[in-house]
Amino acid sequence: MILGDYHTHTVFSHGKNKIEDNVASAVKVGLKEVAITDHGLRHVAFGMRPCDIFKMRKIIDKTQEETPEVKILFGVEANIYTSDGDIDLKPCQMENFDVIIAGFHKIVWPRSPKDMVNFFWRAQWSENFGYSKNTVQKFTDAYVKAIKSGNIDVITHLNYGMKTDVKQVAQAAKDYGVFIELNGKRVSMTDEEILTVQDIGAKFIVNSDAHSCGRVGEISVPTAVIERLDLNRDNIVNWDKLPEFKRRKK
**Rounded Cα–Cα distance for residues 63 and 121 (Å):** 41
140 touches 170 (CB < 8 A): no
Q: Which is nearer to Zn ion, 35 or 172 (CB)?
A: 35
Mask for 42-81, x = binds Zn ion (CB under 5 A): -----------------------------------x----
Q: Which is nearer to Zn ion, 161 or 177 (CB)?
A: 161
139 touches 116 (CB < 8 A): no
209 binds Zn ion (CB under 5 A): yes
**Rounded Cα–Cα distance for residues 89 and 151 (Å):** 10
218 binds Zn ion (CB under 5 A): no
Residues near Zn ion (CB under 5 A), total: 4
Degrees, nearest 5: CA angle 187-192-194: 45
Interacting span for Zn ion (CB under 5 A) from 55-63, 98-106, 217-225, 232-240 = 98-106
Q: Which is nearer to Zn ion, 33 or 181 (CB)?
A: 181
CA-to-CA dists, residue 248 to 63, 88, 198, 231, angstroms: 19, 20, 24, 27
Query: For 181, phi and psi rounded to 5 degrees?
Result: -80, 140
181 binds Zn ion (CB under 5 A): no
Site for Zn ion in 124-143 (CB under 5 A): none
Q: Which residue is nearest to Zn ion (CB)?
A: 209
Helix or strand (DSSP H, E) at 140:
helix 133-148
Residue 89 Cβ, how far from Zn ion at the closest point, in Å? Answer: 15
Which residues contact Zn ion (rule: CB under 5 A)? 77, 103, 156, 209
